[in-house]
Amino acid sequence: MIKNEGVIDRLIRLVLAIIFLVIAYFYAASGLWQTVFYVLAAVSLITTLTGFCLFYQIFGINTHKKN
């Protein structure tokens, strides 16, 4: 997998992952909505750590600056 996310993109995804975790833990009632927010947080965190987004690959988007 080639990185296709830039630094700003990864920071935004990290902030979103934290927001999703807080919503899931504190505000979402147990059940479906809590699971949805946990999954969104996990996907955002994984794409942040790897620097690769499958949807970017499918649509040909690349925000990663090459040296």
Q: What is the pLDDT of residues 14-58, one digit of tens each?
A: 999 999 999 999 998 889 999 999 999 999 999 999 999 999 999
Residue 44 falls within a domain, yes or no? yes
Question: What radius of gyration do the chain's Cα atoms show?
Answer: 13
Residue 1 falls within a domain, yes or no? no
Q: Which residue segment(s) compose the domain that 46 sits in?
A: 7-59
pTM of this structure: 0.87
Report which DSSP code applies to 39: H
Q: Please check whether residue 5 is in contact with residue 51, taking contact to mean a CB–CB distance below 8 angstroms.
A: yes
Q: How many CA atoms lie within 13 A of 33 on its CB side?
A: 9
Residue 65 falls within a domain, yes or no? no
Residue 64 falls within a domain, yes or no? no
66 — pLDDT class (breaks 50, 70, 90): confident
Residue 66 falls within a domain, yes or no? no
Please give the tally of structural domains in the chain: 1
The angle formed by the CA atoms of residues 35, 45 and 51, to the nearest 5 degrees, is 145
Q: Please check whether residue 63 is in contact with residue 6, taking contact to mean a CB–CB distance below 8 angstroms.
A: yes
